[in-house]
Amino acid sequence: MNTLDFLIVALYLVALLVMGFMLREQTNKSDYFLGGKSLGWKPLALSVMATQLSAISFISAPAFVGLREGGGMQWLSYELGVPLAMILILATILPKLYRAGIVSIYDYLEERFGRSTRVLISIVFQFSRAFATGIMIYAVSLILQGTMGIEAWQAILLTGVITVLYSLQGGMKAVVYGDAIQMVIIVLGTIACIGYGLYYLGGVDAFVANVDPDRLQAIKFDSYGFSGDGFGFWPMIFGGVVLYASYYGCDQTQAQRALSAKDPENLRYMILANGVIRFPITILYCLSGLIVGTLAMTEPSFMAKIPTDNPDWMMPMFILNYLPHGLIGLLVVAILAAAMSSLSSAINSLSAVTIEDYCRITNKELSQNNYLKLAKYMGLVWGAVTLVLSLYAGNIAPTIIEAINKVGSLFYGPILAVFLLAVLTKSTSGLHVNIGLISGVLFNLLISVIAPEIFWFWWNFIGFVVTIIMAMLMSKIKPFTYQSSEREIAEGPISLSILTSKDVVLLLGMFAAMIAFCLFIPTAFA
C-alpha cells in the first residue's frame, strides 16, 4: 500500500465518524435502537446482507471455492434454504414481533412464556454473539496485518474503536446507513477482483480452459450427511431453512432491523429483497474465488505467496500483488467495511438486549434520558468485550470459526421452535417450551458425541423437531390454559401473515432458479 491507499482508508474512517456524529440526536429508546421506526426497506435490506455477507465471507468464501481441499462451488448450497426460510418467517414470526412494539425480541417471549424462557435464550444470544464477533474481528485483523503492514492489536483497535464510536453516536440509523454503504463497497470490490482476475488469466477463454472441473459441482444429490459426508442437497435444505429462519427471525442482530422498518410493507420488502438478492451476491463471491483460485493454480509465484495451511490469504495476496494503487485502498476499505458491519450490528443489538433484560429483572422504569445514557455505556462495554476477545483469540481462531458455526447449529433449531410455539400455539406454557428447548439442545449435544458422522447442518433440523415434540408432549401431560394479554384483547384478532400470493410465487421461483443455476454450472464450462 502507498500513500494514496492509506489516504482512501483514512477518508473512509473519518466519513463514518462524521455520519455517526450527524445522526447522534435521539430522544428515546425507539430512536436509538430502532431508528425511530422510520427506516425504509432498501437501506435495511443492504444492512442485513452486509452483516450476513461479512468479512469472513468476503475472504473465506473465495478461498473455499478456489483453493481449499474439498471446496468449490458447493459453497452455493449454503444458500438454497434462504428463500424458503423467508416464506416461513414472513408468515409467522416477524409480523407478530413487529406488531408487539418491542425493542428486544426476547420481550415477546417473556410476555408469552414468562421470564425464565426470556432469560434462558437471551443469555445464550449475548455471550455467543459477543464471542463470535470477537473471533470475526480477529480473523479480519490477520488480513489487515498483511495488507496494511500493521500489528494485530493495531488492526483490531483500528477496526473496533472507529466502529464503536460511530455506532454509539448514531444508534441504529448509523448502523443501517453505514452497513448500506459498506455493502455497496463490498460488491464493487468483488466485481473489481473478478475483472482483474480475468485480465491476468488472459480472458474468459483462458479461465474456462484452466478452471478445475472438480470445483464446479454445486449440488450433491447423492450425499445425505449421515455417513461423514457433508454439503448434500437434503441437509442443506432442511437444515438451511431452520438455520436461516432462526437467524433472520429469532436473532436480535437481524430481527432488530425488521423491527426498525417504518411499516409492515417495508418489513416485507426487506425480507423479500434478502430472499432474492442475497444469492446473486454470493455468486459474485464464488466467481471471484474460482477465478483468483485458477490464477493461483497457473501462477506458481502467486501460489508461493499463499501459506499452504491458510488459503484465506488468497484474496489479500491477490489484492496486494495484482491490483493498482487506489483500488488496493478501496479493497482494504471493503474488508474493513465488512468487519465493521458485523461489529456495529452486534454492539447495538447486545446493548438493546442487555438493557431490556436489566429493566425487566430489576423492575426499573428508566427515564428516556437515562435509558439513552445507559444504552451508550452498555454499547461501550460490549464493544470492549468483543475487542478483548479479539486480542486473545490468536491460539484458537484457526479452528474456532468452524466451531462457532457448529455451536450455532446446536441452538438455532430449538430457538426457532420456541418462537414458533409462542406465535402459533396457545396450549404451551413456559414450562413446556423450556423442557422442549433443553431437550432439543441436549439431544443435539448427544448426537455430536455418539454420532459425529452426522453432518452438523442436520443439527438445526433435529433440534427443531425434538423441541417441538417435547413441548407438545408436555402440554398433553400438564395442560395449560392460555390467558390473553391486555394488548391482545385491545387489538382483537389480527391476521398473522403479511405474505401475499405474489411473494410466495417470487420466493419459490427464486428457489427453483437457484437449483437450476447450480445444476447449470458444470455444463457451462464443459
Find all residues with CB under 8 Å of 220, minimum gap 6, and list them.
74, 77, 229, 231, 232, 233
521 or 184, higher pLDDT: 521
Digit-coded pLDDT (tens) for 200-223: 999 999 999 999 998 999 998 888
Sequential DSSP letters for 14-68: HHHHHHHHHT----SHHHHHHGGG-B-HHHHHHHHHHHHS-HHHHHHHHHHHHTS
What pLDDT was estimated at residue 25? Answer: 57
Nearest of 106, 95, 103, 99 to residue 30 by alpha carbon: 103
Sequential DSSP letters for 250-280: H-HHHHHHHHTBSSHHHHHHHHHHHHHHHHH
Average pLDDT score over residue span 426-452: 92
In a domain, 447, yes or no: no
| Set of cell numbers at residue 154 | 493495531
Residue 164 has pLDDT above 80, yes or no: no
Amino acid letter, 380: L
Domain that holds residue 202: 3-399+500-524
In a domain, 452, yes or no: no
Summary mean pLDDT of the chain? 81
Residue 398 has pLDDT above 60, yes or no: no
Neighbours of 334 (CB within 10 A): 25
48 or 471, higher pLDDT: 471
In whole angstroms, give the CA distance from residue 283 to residue 301: 27
In a domain, 519, yes or no: yes
In a domain, 465, yes or no: no
In a domain, 471, yes or no: no
419 or 328, higher pLDDT: 419
pTM for the full predicted model: 0.83
Beta bridge partners of 220: 232
In a domain, 419, yes or no: no
Nearest of 75, 74, 48 to residue 61 by alpha carbon: 75
What pLDDT was estimated at residue 442? Answer: 93
In a domain, 301, yes or no: yes
In a domain, 378, yes or no: yes
Confidence of residue 22 (pLDDT cuts 50, 70, 90): low
Amino acid letter, 234: W
**Domains held by the chain: number:** 1
Helical H runs in 299-326?
Answer: 300-304, 314-322
Alpha carbon 75 to chain centroid, angstroms? 16
Question: What is residue 203's DSSP assignment?
Answer: S
Residue 327 has pLDDT above 80, yes or no: yes
| CATH number of the domain to which 240 belongs | 1.20.1730.10
